[in-house]
A and B are shown apart, each in its own frame.
Chain A
């Protein structure tokens, strides 16, 4: 390595050597000087003293020289190391090019694994890891009502009182989702927006890009006709007009002044809410403690923790319970972190996917490790020569690892293309609803992840083969004709790799299998209604023109009648909420006979319906009767209960004829208002087949209290069942009907029930698809791994097989021998995999419907799949083994 002609340059290896040498050198000098003085006639002792004195501070010189010596040594080492590294990298690249078969297989395997993992990571990064686009997002919290085990909305009264008394929040806001008619002369557009209190923009801490947020005085009844637009709406509706601030737009029939526009990245929910108006509570509303419909978000004051805020809220709640025993009797409120609520289930799903794709990468690494082990055997001579030339074992391992790293980095570069494509596909194909997913891209963070993943993978697949190869017995390998001791002692490592791969494949397949079965079970679940041939569409009547509840009711009923008369319509009806669609509120019911205290309340979803609704939706009436023309305003008030509600209110009894308190005070304004149960309807899976049944009850539209129209914000669904064919064909006629009644009211959220059904299952289906795909890839890679190991086994044992055949073994015996070789590690892998799946699939239990993680049918199917795969993978090598010619085989031995 040096071009010195003076022999090898002097190079002390360690600090102690350097120190010793310095001492020796200086000592030599002193010796010589002492001799000089002795030669001049001094005594040895005096000579020595004189020499020392002349020298100066011996200790300091020694120290200085040692220091410089050390630094020089460090310099030299660093240079050597770098030059070795450059050498190794060059050698590694040449190796890859010289062995194209190996290189291509290894790079493709790793590129797929690294690329896929990186793609999923970019989604995880965008949705889960990146902080929200607000300043100090960790200080944002939700404040929910906590009722009977679930988080729910807050009432205006509770919010107002809490906002006044609280001491732990820097700002608080109450939000209500609402939809708005934007009309600009050329038609109406339906837009979802938020009604929020004045503190909204302070809570999120983001300034509008144009203009300003609400002033406190605008958050009052009578002054609230101002609006802040989202970036998307600003672009779409007013053409990104930079002078929009101060101008007016028309919403819900009223003029609103545009006071601001939010920046483009303010939106985290994929463009759901597009404008903000002040909620402007009236003084009456601020005193209402029993209608819960607001979402409350707060920013913790600096230095205040969530638990401290919780304590503060608990104290306020205790006060509310005291002051309002009727409305706030069982009140409990919870402070929850903002991010976790926003991301919700998606976090678990994405992380599960990341784990699954990492498994696939690991299996791929296992295959590459196997390839490297095989190559290590063929490179025995080369490595032995290196060793004989003086390369230490560590040096050889370092070189081999460098080769692995270069391989992995090459694969990562190829994998980036896959990652980019994979990320785009993921964004395009994932059903909507995952917050911020559309922002996923291969950015700096993701690139760093891919790089780190490549390095990590190279250690995983490269370390053990490198250690193995470096342990080559030099003499053995250099022997003429020596094949090295491949054989026996390497087998256990390969078998271990097969076992590991099979274990991972089992875990993936069990996960995928459980999800598939769950999907099938979900499809079998009784929905409680008949989605075929039904279309639903939503519309909301604007407050400005429809202040009179009688007019609202009349308009909706007229719409229902006209829809019923459309050609092709079998039956039409109205409802405040259809299954698997947003909307609808809940009310508390108390059965007659129970004391009128909050503990007796059964929280139930309200559906305001016209009498044909049950027939239109295909919901069976189990007992009693449906609503009919008897149930008019002024007639005795009636309700229909869903099965679950009936069971909660009147367990074990017949609810028909019984009475229930709900929804409004009686005629005198104080005493409870009873309604009589006239029918029981079959349970409806309103949130989709994967969710549990929700308790529901029905009231006839003709009898609902006037406040009910405010509860639903004058928004109802029109439901139409067609006699035959695709209900979507009804849409133009429906739109026309609505336009005839009021041209400024748009129809929106128009879907057939089948579309809604598919939509509610979409996320789960997509997840299952991905996991199944990963499981399949994992299985294929494991099959390749098994094939590789068995093929190697046959090659290595060719002479042994020849001997056996010469001694009388039949083809069948040989095939059985080979298959048995595969059976061991595969069986071990299946066993470990099944054990592991018990724990691992607990992760999935939240997503499973109708089956348990330990479902025996799924496990049996997976075991069968693995066995078949192992046999298929072993067939080719087994047949090759059976075709061995004993004479040739023995000759080769």
Chain B
């Protein structure tokens, strides 16, 4: 129960200290460090995340375990891959590893690791928009914990790790949602700038041809249709050279005909 209390306190602390300026991977690294501190016998921890079906170690408390993760990625198998694929906790020791994944066992032995446990990250969401973000990136993964002690990680410890994987899944989903929001904000910004250019072009057309705001937009639309150019392109050309807009009463459809010929000011 002490461990559960410690883990709960650590999770609370981590949750309260989540910062907007800290990246997803930095947050996951802090959480992985907590796991190592709190889990008896733990030597190192890493977080594997599949994005678009491609696995990568996004956080690790020891550089050495990144190599162990990479071996699994290249094999396409191992406790981490199996935990992600089957969505179950996979605990194994060096003996079992030699039988099931000899190449991994060799690397594990070199690192002095005796026992390892991988817990799947359940990147699921009850919010449809967030789930969509997770699905878009095909997010899945596992928290991997390594021990240099034989027989480490009792079943009760798996439950403690599961508490962390739940929190980590939340961080990953939040980051996915954040990324999606940032991308949408970026698109909106581009749209807003395009609107700015079109509005400025409208003003130029109003002044050059003595039109109201609505009439100027209709005029731009007509020019767009006649020239088969997008309004934003027409607007960009006009803003760069207002003299291309023939003064009121002259042929308006030829706005983009006279590139390079600047007309004089019609300042009232």
A binds B: no
